[in-house]
Structure 1
Amino acid sequence: MTGDASTIASILLPLNGVPSESEALAFGLTLARRFGARLEVLHVATDGRDVAPLAGEGLSGAMVEEMMTAAERESNSRTVSARSLLQRALDADQAAFGSALPVQTETTPPMPGAPGVMFRCVKGREHDVVAYAARLSDLIVVPHPDTVEEALSSAEALHAVLFDSGRPAIIAPKTAPASVGRRICVAWNGTAEGASAVFCVLGWLKQADSVHVLHSPEYQRRGPVASELVSYLALHGIAATSSEFTPKGGEVGAALLAAAEAQGADMLAMGAYSHSRLRQLLLGGVTRHVIAKATLPVLMAR
């Protein structure tokens, strides 16, 4: 997925109950219009049968049945809320653009180049459902977590995309941006994950007004350095510049975001989880900080 209009026909947006879903929907609808793509809004519903193995021993059949019924009821309520949230987003989008995006179903014939929206509800484990859907999507938009803790505890959709789909994810900002992909910063540290992010964003880079490579000795790992990336991009006709940022107190993530802001970037591309998720959980990390604190769209890849 290289991110230009010729390759983006299917955009996936999983809803997972975080407060910023309205902003993510607005962002996803804008991208659907920009690329003439279908936005699939995916809601993962709880299967009441999955509650039974968690009920534990010592509970009667009637108690387990009651727990399953309550879980189904709660799941149905969340599905209704998700549909309502999408409808409000569609109404706001229509008011902003002066025309309504067509709502499609799974049986709607493919309409290449025509933007549209589809709501899909699937029962199952969130990680599996999102990963499977993402594998046949060109672009995956993930709502922004509300806090650092939420970035760890409720980032199941993001982890499903990054670790099990073979696709990158774009974390939507909490506030809908005026533009996206016109002034792009690439966070570069020489890793395979960073190289994957560059490849995924090549199409965006070719269409951007400016491209800036951000690097730092504290961020760099074993691999090509920033100047080599600039030369590589030049082979693709991309005139990129580079600059070094300086973390204060070892806060690489904060310094990276500050450097992107200083460049006036409206998009950041970077590799995610160069270290394991367990190391990120125990020690923190650049990925964790950027996920929680970014105010601009961030494309992450592994």
Structure 2
Amino acid sequence: MLFGRQEEAARRGLFPEKREATMRAISNIVNATIGADEPLQTVTVGRVAAASYRDLLSIVDGSATDEAVLAHAESIAETFDAHIEVMLANEVPSPAVYAAEGLGPTYALIEAERETRDAKADALRQRLEGIDRRHDVRRCDAYPGELQRLAASLSRCADLTIVSRPYGRQHHDATTLEAVLFEGGRAAYVVPHEPCKPVLPEVVVVGWRDTPECAQAIGAAMPFLQRARQVYLVSVTEGEPAEARRQEPMADMVRHLARHDVKLEVRHLPEWSHPADALLNEGRMTGAGLIVAGAYGRSRLREWILGGVTRELLKRSELPLLLAR
């Protein structure tokens, strides 16, 4: 082990005998691995390795919004050569539901529910026959609370979880999304309901705040950010900006993204009273294909009672969202 000046000298190559011995050892290992008669491939050092998604989780429930989720999953999987794990979340009615309606969980009712779940599974298998990507189906028949626990558990073993946007049509709450973000501790890619032909986003808007949630979202979005033609790092000023206090968290993030070869432009938006309005407007004005943001910077209860950026984005965004916390 080298210390002090010796370490610096070794780094600068002032110990040629040790340097040559190290290079010989590396050469011997490579030759033993690929064969001495095979040509040694040149490896370029110093270029940033592109981040990627290799394992995707798509959560569907047999509703009309499944098509959008699967279409986005297929597009992302094709771009990154990823595997798709599809979770079919079949909600089993609790006995309390029958009791509230004055019914008993008779055999006929239970059998009808089972047939409905079987039909959803058959329809999903037929839909997936047209996907030319590696995929598996995980059918989960469970009570609502158990479904959220399973979604969180599966999301921990995926690079990105793809879900439908809540607060619209057949989706009235965000329990599955929140399970992925809070219990799973993973990022979620939230797709709008409208079926479309998804493409890799060429323009991405990143909502910046100096918070752990935002940093997690940027890290999770790195494969998209590196491949985008343009990324806008957008700061919506709420009160005195950090730069006015001689702090530079945004400048630090700019340097961090530049080191990852992200093509970046910084925008400060001081005239907006609500950050969600600013981000949605910026997405429309720039022609963005994706909005990246930290989720639930304050408690879910306060978001529900007082409103918040996450809830407003989920209710109103027509663009895919990548959220993390």
User: Under TM normalisation by the shorter chain, which class is it?
Assistant: 0.7 to 0.9
Query: Among the aligned pairs, what percent are the same residue?
Result: 27
- Using the alignment, how far apart are the partners of 2:119 and 2:240 within structure 1? 46
Aligned twin of 1:134: 155
Shift of the alpha carbon at 1:5? 7.5
Aligned twin of 2:73: 28
Stretches of structure 1 lacking an aligned partner (at least 5 in a row): 95-99, 102-114
Aligned twin of 1:272: 295
One-letter amino acid of the structure 2 residue matched with residue 277 of structure 1: R
Aligned twin of 1:213: 233
Shift of the alpha carbon at 1:22? 1.4
From the superposition, tell whether residues 203 and 46 of structure 1 become closer, same or farther in structure 2 (CA, over 3 Å): closer
- Using the alignment, how far apart are the partners of 2:178 and 2:280 within structure 1? 21
From the superposition, tell whether residues 35 and 75 of structure 1 become closer, same or farther in structure 2 (CA, over 3 Å): farther
Aligned twin of 2:16: none
TM-superposition CA deviations, 1:10-53 (whole Å, max 9, x none): 211111355422111111122222222221221123456xx346
Indicate if the aligned counterparts of 1:168 and 1:200 stay in contact, CA closer than 8 A. Answer: yes
Stretches of structure 2 lacking an aligned partner (at least 5 in a row): 1-48
* Larger RCO (CA within 8 A; separation ≥ 6): 1
TM-score relative to the length of structure 2: 0.72
From the superposition, tell whether residues 254 and 148 of structure 1 become closer, same or farther in structure 2 (CA, over 3 Å): farther
From the superposition, tell whether residues 26 and 187 of structure 1 become closer, same or farther in structure 2 (CA, over 3 Å): same
One-letter amino acid of the structure 1 residue matched with residue 88 of structure 2: H
From the superposition, tell whether residues 259 and 7 of structure 1 become closer, same or farther in structure 2 (CA, over 3 Å): closer
What is the correspondence of 1:47-126 to structure 2 with a 5 Å cutoff?
Answer: 47=92, 51-52=94-95, 64-66=104-106, 70-71=109-110, 73-85=112-124, 87-88=126-127, 90=128, 94=130, 101=132, 115-124=133-142, 125-126=146-147
Shift of the alpha carbon at 1:189? 1.2
Shift of the alpha carbon at 1:282? 0.3
Indicate if the aligned counterparts of 1:32 and 1:38 stay in contact, CA closer than 8 A. Answer: yes
- Using the alignment, how far apart are the partners of 1:17 and 1:167 within structure 2? 23
- Using the alignment, how far apart are the partners of 1:221 and 1:12 within structure 2? 38
What is the correspondence of 1:200-279 to structure 2 with a 5 Å cutoff?
Answer: 200-218=220-238, 225-246=249-270, 248=272, 250-279=273-302
From the superposition, tell whether residues 289 and 237 of structure 1 become closer, same or farther in structure 2 (CA, over 3 Å): same
Indicate if the aligned counterparts of 2:202 and 2:228 stay in contact, CA closer than 8 A. Answer: yes
Query: Which structure has the greater CA radius of gyration?
Result: 2
Indicate if the aligned counterparts of 1:14 and 1:42 stay in contact, CA closer than 8 A. Answer: yes
One-letter amino acid of the structure 1 residue matched with residue 59 of structure 2: P
Indicate if the aligned counterparts of 2:187 and 2:217 stay in contact, CA closer than 8 A. Answer: yes
Aligned twin of 1:109: none
TM-score relative to the length of structure 1: 0.77
Aligned twin of 1:166: 185
Aligned twin of 2:212: 192
Aligned to 2:314, which of 277, 288, 291?
Answer: 291
**Alignment partner of 1:130: what SS?**
helix
From the superposition, tell whether residues 79 and 149 of structure 1 become closer, same or farther in structure 2 (CA, over 3 Å): closer
Shift of the alpha carbon at 1:240? 1.3
Shift of the alpha carbon at 1:64? 4.3
Indicate if the aligned counterparts of 1:213 and 1:243 stay in contact, CA closer than 8 A. Answer: yes
One-letter amino acid of the structure 1 residue matched with residue 320 of structure 2: P
TM-superposition CA deviations, 1:42-79 (whole Å, max 9, x none): 1123456xx3466669x9xxx6442x762563254034
Shift of the alpha carbon at 1:182? 2.2
RMSD value over aligned CA atoms? 3.0
TM-superposition CA deviations, 1:67-105 (whole Å, max 9, x none): x762563254034225415534x46xx4xxxxx52xxxx
**Alignment partner of 1:157: what SS?**
helix
- Using the alignment, how far apart are the partners of 1:247 and 1:15 within structure 2? 39
- Using the alignment, how far apart are the partners of 2:290 and 2:240 within structure 1? 21
Indicate if the aligned counterparts of 1:46 and 1:71 stay in contact, CA closer than 8 A. Answer: no
**Alignment partner of 1:162: what SS?**
helix
What is the correspondence of 1:148-167 to structure 2 with a 5 Å cutoff?
Answer: 150=171, 153-167=172-186
